[in-house]
């Protein structure tokens, strides 16, 4: 705002957020023995991946990426995941809860709550235990949801991956304490201070590849309780009288296709998406069915170890 700082030294808010995230990632690698990055293939994960490349340039990303595959992800997500692994060359771990698959757990018959618990929360715990990871990066942001406004950048989890809101470490300045005892771990959120708009803006500025599902296209959808669900493969269970119809839709968040709501949109470019966002009358998470289960439900899931 003032002229006291030479222009070449002034950092915009995006540059500050980027530098903060890079500093956090480097600190984790320096302090922790076995970090891992949770890679959900969504746009926030794409930004996180991009930040990791920047943080360790010219070196490679010094930790693996972990994708918890529920087997119900959009097909386009899986092909995008492969494309990124090929192009960027990171180590990719894909984990699926084999017991859940054996029991035939699916989002249609078992309800979003049970399904999410078994195929996501438990699966994540299994994968973290198997890898003996003491730090896991996630793309969560404080502006996403009320219970996250107070989340630490380094979020401490006990040996059972539980998050205790009363037992979090004070975090001052940029001094992060990543020390853990055997079995304990930290979840690290380098993008804590980013907003939804910052993420889209950054993707635009940095030309970061994202899954095409974020852009509007004609897709087969079914409307259920006002939510548009895409029929991504032939496992989709239609209710009586339901038929898929082609609509021009896009997704604001991506997860398991039966649990991800699409919005009707014509936005096929990033500026168009941002334009729609600027007049958004629906906040980002409305598309996520799981948040409606119970009041304070995200907080509840966090306590249980959901990311």
Residues 5-34 that bind other proteins (CB under 8 A): 5-6, 8-19, 22-23, 26-27, 29-30
Q: How far apart are CA 191 and CA 189, in angstroms?
A: 5
Instruction: Give yes or no for residue 295 binding other proteins (CB under 8 A).
Output: yes
Query: Interface with other proteins includes 248 (CB under 8 A)?
Result: no
How many residues touch other proteins under the rule CB under 8 A: the total is 74
> Across the strands, what pairs with 288?
260
CB of 236 to other proteins, least distance (A): 27
User: Does position 293 bind other proteins by CB under 8 A?
Assistant: no
User: In the complex, what is the shortest distance from the CB of residue 1 to other proteins, in angstroms, rounded to a whole number?
Assistant: 6
| Residue 127 Cα to chain centre, angstroms | 16
Give the shortest CB-278-to-other proteins separation in angstroms: 6
121 neighbors 305 (Cβ within 8 angstroms): yes
What residues from 45 to 64 belong to the interface with other proteins (CB under 8 A)?
53-60
The nearest distance, CB 243 to other proteins, in angstroms, is 28
Decide if residue 89 touches other proteins (CB under 8 A).
no
- The helix-helix angle for 43-56 and 196-206 (nearest 10°) equals 60
Place of tokens 């890679």: 39
Smallest gap from Cβ 123 to other proteins, in A, equals 26
Contact 292, 234 (CB under 8 A): no
Does residue 171 belong to the site contacting other proteins (CB under 8 A)?
yes
Q: In angstroms, what CA-CA distances link 190 with 158, 185, 203, 274?
A: 20, 16, 16, 22
Among 110, 177, 208, 220, binds other proteins (CB under 8 A): 177
Give the residue with the Cβ less far from other proteins, 245 or 296: 296
Minimal distance, residue 298 CB to other proteins, in Å: 10
> Quick check: 217 binds other proteins (CB under 8 A)?
no
Of 71 and 297, CB closest to other proteins: 297
Which of 47, 180, 210, 227 is the binder for other proteins (CB under 8 A)? 180
| Footprint (CB under 8 A) of other proteins, residues 258-287 | 271-272, 274-276, 278-283, 286
Distance CA 216, CA 265 (A): 6
Torsion angle defined by CA atoms of residues 279, 258, 115 and 99, in that order, rounded to the nearest 10 degrees = -130
Nearest Cα to Cα of residue 61 among 52, 69, 70: 52
Write the CA distances from 246 to 218, 243, 262, integer angstroms. 6, 10, 12
102 binds other proteins (CB under 8 A): no
- Applying CB under 8 A, among 99, 197, 235, 264 the residue interacting with other proteins is 197
Query: What do you get for the CA distance between the two ends of the chain, in Å?
Result: 38
- Using CB under 8 A as the binding rule, whether residue 193 contacts other proteins is answered as yes
Q: Are 138 and 187 in contact (CB under 8 A)?
A: yes
Closer CB to other proteins, residue 113 or residue 169? 169
CB 96 within 8 A of CB 70: yes
């Amino acid at each position: 705002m003032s002229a006291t700082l030479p222009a070449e030294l002034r950092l915009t808010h995006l540059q500050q957020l980027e530098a903060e995230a890079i500093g956090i990632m480097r600190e984790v690698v320096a302090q922790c023995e076995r970090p891992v990055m949770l890679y959900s293939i969504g746009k926030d994960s794409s930004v996180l991946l991009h930040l990791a490349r920047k943080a360790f340039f010219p070196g490679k990303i010094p930790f693996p990426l972990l994708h918890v595959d529920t087997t119900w992800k959009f097909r386009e997500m899986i092909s995008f995941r492969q494309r990124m692994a090929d192009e960027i060359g990171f180590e990719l771990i894909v984990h699926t809860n084999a017991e859940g698959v054996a029991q035939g757990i699916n989002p249609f018959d078992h309800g979003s709550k049970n399904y999410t618990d078994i195929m996501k929360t438990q699966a994540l715990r299994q994968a973290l235990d198997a890898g003996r990871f003491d730090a896991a990066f996630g793309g969560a942001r404080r502006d996403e949801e009320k219970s996250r406004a107070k989340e630490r950048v380094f979020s401490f989890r006990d040996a059972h991956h539980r998050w205790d809101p009363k037992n979090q470490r004070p975090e001052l300045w940029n001094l992060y304490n990543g020390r853990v005892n055997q079995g304990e771990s930290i979840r690290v959120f380098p993008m804590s201070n980013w907003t939804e708009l910052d993420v889209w803006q950054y993707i635009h500025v940095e030309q970061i590849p994202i899954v095409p599902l974020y852009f509007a296209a004609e897709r087969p959808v079914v409307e259920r309780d006002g939510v548009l669900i895409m029929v991504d493969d032939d496992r989709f269970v239609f209710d009586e009288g339901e038929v898929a119809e082609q609509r021009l839709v896009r997704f604001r968040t991506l997860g398991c296709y039966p649990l991800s709501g699409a919005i009707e949109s014509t936005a096929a470019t990033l500026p168009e998406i941002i334009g729609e966002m600027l007049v958004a009358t629906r906040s980002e998470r409305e598309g996520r069915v799981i948040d409606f289960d119970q009041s304070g439900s995200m907080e509840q899931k966090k306590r249980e170890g959901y990311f």
